[in-house]
């Protein structure tokens, strides 16, 4: 029975990502056909220009914060107030901000002497802001000059829109890890968000760039300072209160991604922990029929965690059998032969599906990123590198998320921002 179960796990490890890739491709193409094809590439004409408050949380960002602030003030949307939240930085972030305040009189800086976490900083900035719309931007990111106009259009025309998530693009593409992440953001994250908008609810806004309706933030109870990933938690609280969360591919920003294995590990572990905490907290969505549109997102995330455990188990069994066969101990015959995942027909199928998925993403996303086709070769490395990282991160993060005291404040540390291009 155990032997059969292991073979079933191996089948699940193969078929689940293949099937979901096909779902994402079909969903992405349908979203493009319905909502992007033939759409004017020029920013929309706005009948109203409400005040937009831009929040930039910063913790030890002396190198990159000036680029982020410059990109905001270069935006074509001018009815803005900009608040940088300096969350107890120990480098020269404050000095850079003081210089920027001399350059931009409209810039405000909220200086926090103690690291109280990103969510607390956002809530304090919210209390001192006046905008009907809030835009949150990571301190390492540069906002496209028309991004805010595209977001505001949704809020102007649809009163139930609570948030609009943007379309982050990688700007440091010099290393192998950065190139693989460029492929990931286009061929995985972009397609997933398009598909989720079609079949139900968006799992999460982008933590890099998003726009929020002020009244929706108040209705959701502000940002949760106990959440490891405040963006995921806020998205779910809005959606369970029946606010519409949308994906706007024209809301582009350019970000820096980690370029060290340690930096990627910390990031993916935090993402996994945050997602698990959210589905743990919102288990009650299954009790109410009116929450049914969020069920596909919940189920997909749960199956993704199960897949991570199945992947790690199968990988360990394959390594164990290989070791026993090489040493001639004879114990290998007791384990099922799962084949070599890199050279078997299944590995070839997965590689071909990844290439096809990225080809679809190029066709959909190259209008927003003209250099995207140049990354095509690197996508074949995505299953090898990131499946291992993401699976291990999910396996490690699950017990941490399930045991964590959800009343404690979540604080942050300086992230790996990679190298500037």
Note the pLDDT tens digit of each residue in 341-354.
555 677 778 878 88
How distant is the alpha carbon of residue 385 from its chain centre?
A: 18
Residues 58-82, mean pLDDT to the nearest whole number: 93
Show the tokens assigned to 9: 């796990």
Is the pLDDT at 337 greater than 80? The verdict is no
Q: Which of 45-49, 52-56, 116-120 has the highest mean predicted lDDT (pLDDT)?
A: 52-56
C-alpha 181/C-alpha 179 separation (Å) is 5
The more confidently predicted of residues 217 and 332 is 217
> How many CA within 13 A on the CB side of residue 211?
31
Q: Where are the domains of the chain?
A: 2-26+294-403, 49-257
Are 330 and 323 in contact by the 8 Å Cβ rule? The answer is no
277, 404 Cβ separation under 8 angstroms:
yes
Could you give the angle at the alpha carbon of 363 between the alpha carbons of 359 and 367, nearest 5°?
A: 135
Question: In which band, very low, low, confident or very high, does the pLDDT at 82 lie, cut at 50, 70 and 90?
Answer: very high
State the helix-helix crossing angle for 93-103 and 65-73, rounded to 10 degrees: 20
**Average pLDDT value for residue range 215-228:** 93
Q: What is the pLDDT of residues 96-121, one digit of tens each?
A: 999 999 899 889 999 988 888 889 99
Predicted TM-score of the model (pTM): 0.88
H helix intervals, 328-381? 345-365
Rounded-to-integer distance, Cα 171 and Cα 184, Å: 13
DSSP secondary structure code for residue 331 in this structure: G
Which residue would you say has higher pLDDT here, 78 or 325?
78
Whether 14 shows a pLDDT value over 70: the answer reads: yes
What pLDDT band is residue 326 in, cutting at 50, 70 and 90?
low
Query: Quick one: which of 139, 168, 165, 187 has its CA closest to 386?
Result: 187
Q: Which of 5-9, 53-57, 210-214, 416-420 has the lowest mean pLDDT?
A: 416-420
Cα separation, 418 vs 170, whole angstroms: 11
Q: What is the per-residue pLDDT for 115?
A: 84
Residue 222: both structure tokens together: 């502000």
- CATH code given to domain 49-257: 3.90.550.10
What percentage of the chain's residues is helix, strand, coil (to nearest 5)? 55, 15, 30
DSSP 3-state of 249: strand
**Beta carbons within 8 Å of 103's beta carbon, 6+ residues apart:** none
The percent of residues above 90 in pLDDT, for the chain, comes to 48
**pLDDT beyond 90 at 211:** yes
Q: Would you say residue 215 has pLDDT above 60? A: yes
Residue 20 has pLDDT above 80, yes or no: yes
How do residues 355-365 score in pLDDT, each as one tens digit?
888 889 888 88
Q: Is 298 helix (H, G, I), strand (E, B) or coil?
A: helix
Query: Mean pLDDT throughout 151-175?
Result: 93
Q: In terms of DSSP H, where are the helices of 32-88? A: 65-73
Q: Which residue(s) pair with 134 in the sheet?
A: 53, 212
Whether 183 shows a pLDDT value over 90: the answer reads: no
Residue 85 near residue 167, CB atoms below 8 Å: no
Work out the mean pLDDT of the chain and round it to a whole number: 86
Q: How many CA atoms lie within 13 A of 127 on its CB side?
A: 9
- pLDDT tens digits for range 372-398: 777 777 766 666 666 777 888 888 888
Torsions phi, psi for 80 (to 5 deg): -130, 155
d(CA 394, CA 233): 17
Per-residue model confidence as pLDDT tens digits over 255-311:
999 888 888 888 888 889 989 999 999 999 999 899 999 999 999 999 999 999 998
Nearest to 418 by CA among 198, 312, 267, 291: 267
Q: State the Cα–Cα distance between residues 26 and 32, nearest whole angstrom.
A: 10
Place of tokens 């965690």: 305
Query: Which pLDDT does position 397 carry in this prediction?
Result: 87
**DSSP characters over 188-235:** IIIHHHHHHHHHS--S---SSEEEEEHHHHHHHTS--TT-SSHHHHHH
- Residue-level pLDDT at 324: 67
At residue 399, does pLDDT exceed 90? Answer: no
Residue 167 pLDDT greater than 90, yes or no: yes
pLDDT at 303: 94
Q: Which pLDDT score, from 0 to 100, does residue 409 have?
A: 65
Tell me the C-alpha distance between 99 and 112, whole Å: 18
Q: What is the mean pLDDT of residues 61-78?
A: 93
CB atoms within 10 A of CB 113: 8
């Amino acid at each position: 029975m155990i032997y059969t179960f292991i073979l079933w796990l191996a089948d699940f490890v193969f078929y689940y990502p293949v099937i979901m890739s096909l779902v994402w491709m079909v969903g992405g193409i349908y979203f493009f056909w319905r909502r992007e094809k033939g759409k004017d590439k020029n920013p929309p004409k706005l009948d109203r220009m409400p005040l937009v408050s831009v929040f930039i949380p910063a913790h030890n960002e002396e190198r990159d914060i000036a680029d982020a602030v410059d990109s905001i003030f270069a935006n074509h949307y001018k009815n803005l107030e900009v608040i940088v939240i300096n969350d107890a930085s120990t480098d020269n972030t404050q000095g850079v901000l003081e210089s920027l305040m001399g350059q931009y009189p409209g810039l405000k800086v909220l200086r926090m002497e103690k690291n109280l976490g990103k969510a607390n900083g956002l809530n304090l900035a919210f209390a001192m802001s006046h905008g009907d719309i809030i835009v949150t931007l990571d301190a390492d990111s540069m906002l496209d000059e028309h991004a805010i106009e595209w977001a505001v259009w949704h809020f102007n025309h649809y009163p139930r829109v609570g948030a609009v998530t943007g379309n982050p693009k990688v700007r440091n593409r010099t290393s192998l890890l950065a190139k693989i992440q460029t492929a990931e953001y286009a061929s995985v994250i972009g397609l997933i968000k398009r598909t989720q908008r079609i079949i139900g609810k968006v799992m999460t806004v982008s933590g890099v760039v998003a726009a929020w309706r002020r009244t929706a933030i108040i209705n959701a109870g502000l940002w949760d300072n106990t959440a490891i990933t405040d963006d995921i938690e806020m998205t779910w609280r809005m959606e369970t209160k029946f606010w519409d969360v949308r994906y706007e591919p024209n809301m582009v920003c350019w970000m820096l991604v980690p370029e060290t294995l340690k930096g990627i590990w910390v990031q993916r572990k935090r993402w996994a922990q945050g997602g698990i905490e959210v589905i743990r907290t919102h288990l009650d969505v299954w009790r109410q029929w009116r929450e049914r549109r969020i069920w596909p997102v919940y189920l997909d995330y749960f199956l993704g965690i199960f897949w991570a455990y199945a992947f790690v188990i199968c990988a360990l069994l394959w390594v164990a059998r290989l070791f026993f066969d090489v040493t001639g101990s004879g114990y290998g015959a007791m384990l099922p032969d799962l084949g070599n995942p890199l050279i078997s027909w299944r590995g070839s199928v997965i590689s071909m599906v990844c290439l096809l998925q990225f080809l679809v993403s190029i066709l959909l996303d190259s209008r927003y990123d003209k250099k995207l086709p140049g990354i095509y070769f690197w996508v074949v490395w995505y299953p090898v590198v990131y499946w291992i990282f993401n699976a291990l991160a999910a396996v490690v993060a699950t017990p941490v998320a399930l045991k964590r005291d959800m009343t404690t404040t979540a604080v942050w540390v300086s992230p790996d921002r990679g190298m500037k291009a």
